[in-house]
Amino acid sequence: MIPSDLKRLIDANLNRSVEGLRVLEDIARFIFNDSKLTGRIRDIRHLISERDIEFDKKLIGARDVAGDVGLELPENKTRSLPQVIVANAHRVQESLRVLEEFAKSKEIGIDSEVFKNARFFAYEMEKELLGRVLRKDKKEALKGLYIIIDGTKGLSEEIASGVVGALEFDDTGLSDREFLALAKKTALDCRGRNILFIIKSRLDIALASMADGLIVGDQDLPVEEARALMPLDMLLGVMTNNLDALRRAKDKGSDFGLLGFGPDLVDKVALGGIKEDFPTVIKNVPSDNIKSLFLQGIMIAVSQQELSPDLIKCLQETGHAG
């Protein structure tokens, strides 16, 4: 027979863990519109909350809300979204740890491994959700033109905030020291113009220059390994000519994609399910297709040399420039 005080302890921590998971689930569902992540959190929540009715009756019967000394403890009245994520993730992790320990008691008879596995899942969810919210503003800034320049070129006067959303910096035969020095200078120039600064392929240079993001191709670090090494607030993009590969990269943790132009990409339907929460950049776009892509909210990638008054005018006419 389970003592009354242990019933209260189990009841409180089961409720706390399920409530915290529900908050994280709704963040995944309503803020990130991610059905897969929402489903994963929901499955864990159901696993914890689904219990034998007779066991539930015992826990509820022992509940003593009025006599709970923890009700008097103060809580923060206001929280930012990152704080909400961290607070609820910790609430879940701590309550699951308590349940895991007390489930080992013979008089309780609950499988402690369920709570242990759920706790490690909560650690992963905290990192994933916090990273997403920290990168959310940067993802939303991926609009307009995506300019690609090599490490030997500086920023021209035409590259301005409102017209250019992001600048990709490429190594073209420079030594590492030269490339890093230019990357640091260009990163500062971009920040002064409210332009995202993206490094191509070189995670070490991206980290050292405090870039806003890194973009990788098929021969670079795999997406999962790059993400694991990057700060939570750094964007990760993927270069590919394959729409299916782009979808896979999104599922593995990338934040945006750079695609080579293809006739099927002109049709908005071809990008269905990606563009809305996964900024898409297309390069090598024929001039006849630029306006239609701008109207779909898709970024166009051009070199600094290709940045022309006509291109800027087209962007402004479609309402995608400041």
Q: Are residues 120 and 259 in the same domain?
A: no
Q: Where are the alpha helices (DSSP H) in the chain?
A: 4-26, 35-49, 53-62, 81-102, 112-140, 176-192, 203-208, 223-229, 243-251, 287-295, 309-317
Rounded Cα distance between 52 and 5, Å, is 20
In whole angstroms, what separates CA 35 from the centre of its chain? 14
Of 110, 137, 164, the last residue of a domain is 137
Residue 322 lies in a domain: no
Q: Are residues 305 and 213 in the same domain?
A: yes
Q: Are residues 30 and 115 in the same domain?
A: yes
pTM attached to this predicted model: 0.85
In whole angstroms, what separates CA 163 from the centre of its chain? 25
3-class secondary-structure state, position 228? helix
Q: Are residues 64 and 104 in the same domain?
A: yes
Number of structural domains (the chain) is 2
3-class secondary-structure state, position 251? helix
Give the residue numbers spanning the domain of 39.
4-137
What tens-digit pLDDT sequence spans the chain (322 residues)?
Answer: 678 888 888 888 999 999 999 999 999 999 998 899 999 999 999 999 876 655 656 555 656 665 665 655 566 777 899 999 999 999 999 999 999 998 988 777 788 999 999 999 999 999 999 999 999 999 999 988 999 998 666 677 767 767 899 999 997 778 999 999 999 999 999 999 999 999 999 999 999 999 999 999 999 999 999 999 999 999 999 999 888 888 889 889 999 999 887 766 655 434 554 655 788 899 988 888 888 888 877 889 999 888 888 888 888 888 766 5
Residue 221 lies in a domain: yes
Q: Which two tokens stand for residue 276?
A: 């809305």
Q: Are 270 and 264 in contact (CB under 8 A)?
A: yes
Residue 27 lies in a domain: yes
Instruction: State the pLDDT at residue 238.
Output: 96
Place of tokens 């293809």: 262
For residue 62, the 8-state DSSP code is: H
Instruction: State the pLDDT at residue 78.
Output: 75
Q: State the CATH number of the domain containing residue 103.
A: 1.20.1260
Rounded Cα distance between 209 and 158, Å, is 23
Whole-angstrom Cα Rg for the chain: 25
Q: List C-alpha distances in Å: 290 to 5, 176, 266, 311.
A: 68, 36, 9, 8
Q: Are residues 169 and 242 in the same domain?
A: yes
Instruction: State the pLDDT at residue 65.
Output: 60
Instruction: State the pLDDT at residue 297.
Output: 78
Q: Are 321 and 294 in contact (CB under 8 A)?
A: no
